[in-house]
A and B are shown apart, each in its own frame.
Chain A
Amino acid sequence: SQTIHQWPATLVQPVGSPLSLECTVEGTSNPNLYWYRQAAGRGLQLLFYSVGIGQISSEVPQNLSASRPQDRQFILSSKKLLLSDSGFYLCAWSVPRTKDSTKLYYEQYFGPGTRLTVT
């Protein structure tokens, strides 16, 4: 079965410090990977997604970046954190599935998340 790990679970960082959050997936090959951010009491905002090693697409321009150095590893980084970067960061994975040999769809599963507080 597939599992997804994220670390650290919680992080408190001062404004202006760098950031590195890591996500790894086990039990599947060539997954699509996603980074979401959830501000307190809010919905889920897609930040980046990746369909393969080294392939990153950004959804929201900001001071964050993402990298995928290995097939099942996804990293979220920042050179200088802002107060507004605080939130719950969620990594997710999906693989394509088909129904009736025609319908292509993706089931997406989330990791446990990293709660980031920028002070």
Chain B
Amino acid sequence: QQPVQSPQAVILREGEDAVINCSSSKALYSVHWYRQKHGEAPVFLMILLKGGEQKGHDKISASFNEKKQQSSLYLTASQLSYSGTYFCGIPPTTDSWGKLQFGAGTQVVVTP
């Protein structure tokens, strides 16, 4: 079952912050975050592993809460280049050979 992302879309002014959530109805082993710009392939941002770790990619960071079965992606001091659709992906089982089930995506628009 695919993860649920929220919100579906968010519009920001440059410099503002945003949070994107990714929730699963079953236990999470890892969470993978990607950004896709219009007409392009998704680009890998980061992976969070079971253990509640946090990671960062430039001013984009993420957290992983196993108990809540969710991950959050934080866009801090957003830049125009942050615009795009953000997807979270989760492996369906522990032994899934790297397969991922993706959420429906969160469209982020950063305006000047």
Q: Give the interface of A toward B (CB within 8 A).
A: 32, 34, 42-44, 46, 49, 51, 59, 90, 94, 96, 99, 103, 105-113
Contacts and interface: CB of A to CB of B under 8 A. Distances in A.
Contacts of A109: 44
A43 B42 contact: no
Interface stretch (B15-23, B56-64, B74-82, B98-106): B98-106
A32 B41 contact: no
Dominant secondary structure at the B interface:
loop
Contact of A105 (B44, B49, B102): B49
B30 to A, nearest CB: 5
B30 A105 contact: yes
B100 A99 contact: no
A61 B41 CA distance: 24
B26 to A, nearest CB: 17
A44 B99 contact: no
B104 to A, nearest CB: 5
Interface residues of B, number: 25
Dominant secondary structure at the A interface:
strand
Nearest to B101: A46
B87 A44 contact: yes
Contacts, number: 57
Given A34-B98, A90-B41, A111-B41, 11 more contacts: A46-B101, A49-B97, A59-B99, A90-B42, A103-B49, A103-B50, A105-B30, A107-B32, A110-B42, A110-B43, A112-B40
Contacts of B104: 42-43
A75 to B, nearest CB: 18
Contact of A51 (B2, B50, B97): B97
A32 B98 contact: yes
A105 B2 CA distance: 19
Nearest to B47: A107
Contacts of B49: 99, 103, 105
A110 B98 contact: no
Nearest to A115: B39
Contacts of B84: none
